[in-house]
Chains A and B, each alone.
Chain A
Amino acid sequence: MAGLFYFVLGQMNDGEYDPRDIPTEFIGRNAPEFALPDLFNPEQVVSPSKLKGQVWLLNVWGTWCPECWREHDYLLHLARTRGINIVGLNWRDEAEEAKAMLVRLGNPFSQVGFDPDSSAVIDWGVYGAPETFLIDAEGIVRVKHKGAMTEKAWMKKFATHFTGNK
């Protein structure tokens, strides 16, 4: 019994197991559609259907979320040195604060959908931030990662989907 307890605790510490995790419903499904205003350029519409034909990441974040600050450097690394297209989904945030964070820390996103009232977030089954989805060229959700993006998570879950371009 003690052995089992120790094992589960170890898995939790490694981030391999989260008892609060809810299995996602979206793997293998079409990416839910949304049309949100861009954070920096509200006249522009951010929408998954416009990205068909390329593999991209959708990263749900907010300035209120500490893990989002922690993963920010790694997202920058993915965007800048590996050329990954990351679309941000800014959740329940103040536009000014969100913009200020990206100006200060650098902006890893090609575009950022602004979702202050969870409209797209509920359609994507998101219940915490950060969450990162991978959408393939056919517009199908292939991966979902809950929690901060790290080198380990990237290698394990995402990297293989990008063998084409890197």
Chain B
Amino acid sequence: MKRLLLSICLTLMAAVHAGGIEVYNFDDKAQENVYKELVDELRCLVCQNQNISASNAELAQDMRKKTVQLLKEGKSKGEITEFMSQRYGDFVLYKPPFKASTAVLWIAPFAFFIIAIWLMLRTIRARKQENELSELSDDQVKQAASLLQSNSDKDSKTS
């Protein structure tokens, strides 16, 4: 058992080693924080549902490298997102800016929510009306009872 565990550990270590951990030296803590924010917010264009901090795609590695390089040149966070979206479009930003081309993206969820509420209310109202129609009023019940009564009287007379 011990041997098995040891071999698993060794295999995992080898895997980590093969993955290659990138080490960047930042000028200060603030710069490192901006870097962390950026790599979380930039989308990997190769594995499109990952950000570049999670992706091991080669392009993502190079985009991280580029991000560091731009930071060291003294570029701000806004300038770097601008740099990336000029090249890869708003798609590269996990949080796209609100503008004409992305308005649908931002508004659609709320619009769908409102439509859903409206449909729900309409259905509820329609159902209520249907129930009211099918229910008999007290007068109608009395009328039906007397009709049945008179019919059975007739039946008893004829028989």
Which residues of chain A have a CB within 8 Å of any CB of chain B? 20, 22-25, 92, 117-118, 121-125, 127-128
Contact residue range for chain B?
Answer: 10 to 19
Q: Is residue B66 within 8 Å, beta carbon to beta carbon, of the partner chain?
A: yes
Given A22-B45, A92-B58, A118-B59, CB of A125 within 8 Å of CB of B87: yes
Q: How far is the CB of A97 from chain B (nearest CB, A)?
A: 15
Provide the bound-state CA to CA distance between A22 and B46, in Å: 11
Chain B, Cβ-Cβ closest to A125: B87
- The reply to whether A127 and B62 form a contact with Cβ atoms under 8 Å apart is no
- Least Cβ distance of A25 to chain B in Å? 5
Residue among B46, B63, B85, B91 making CB contact with A122, cutoff 8 Å: B63
Closest chain-A Cβ to B87's Cβ sits at a distance in Å of 4
B32-53 interface (Cβ within 8 A of A):
45-46, 48
Dominant secondary structure of chain A at its interface with chain B: loop
User: CB-CB < 8 A to A127: which residues of B?
Assistant: 45-46, 59, 88
Task: Tell me, in angstroms, the Cα distance from A24 to B85 when the chains sit together.
Answer: 10
CB distance from B84 to the nearest CB of A (A): 8
The 8 closest A-B pairs by CB, nearest first: A127-B45, A118-B62, A125-B87, A22-B91, A25-B89, A125-B88, A122-B66, A92-B58
Q: Which residues of A contact B66 (CB under 8 A)?
A: 118, 122
Cα A20 to Cα B46 in complex, Å, equals 9
* Contact code string B57-73 (vs A, CB < 8 Å = 1, else 0): 01100110110000000
- Chain B: which residue is nearest A62 at the CB level? B58
- A24 nearest in chain B by CB position: B89
Distance from A123 Cβ to chain B, minimum over Cβ atoms (Å): 6
**Chain A residue at smallest Cβ distance from B92:** A22
A22-B88, A24-B89, A92-B62 are known; give 4 further A-B pairs, CB within 8 A. A22-B45, A25-B85, A118-B59, A122-B66
**Min CB–CB distance B51 → chain A (angstroms):** 14
Residue ID in chain A nearest B87 by CB atoms: A125
Decide yes or no whether B86 CB sits under 8 A from chain A. yes
Q: Within the complex, what minimum Cβ distance (angstroms) separates B71 from chain A?
A: 15
Please pick, from A23, A25, A118, A128, the residue contacting B86 in the complex, using a CB distance under 8 A: A25
Measured between beta carbons, the chain A residues less than 8 angstroms from B62 are 92, 117-118, 121-122
In the docked arrangement, what's the CA distance between A146 and B59, Å? 16
Q: Is the beta-carbon distance between A22 and B87 smaller than 8 angstroms?
A: no
Selected from A22, A92, A117, the residue in CB contact (under 8 A) with B89 is A22
Q: Can you list 20 pairs linking A and B with CB atoms under 8 Å apart?
A: A22-B45, A22-B88, A22-B89, A23-B91, A25-B86, A118-B58, A118-B59, A118-B62, A118-B63, A118-B66, A121-B59, A121-B62, A122-B63, A122-B87, A123-B87, A124-B87, A125-B89, A127-B59, A127-B88, A128-B45
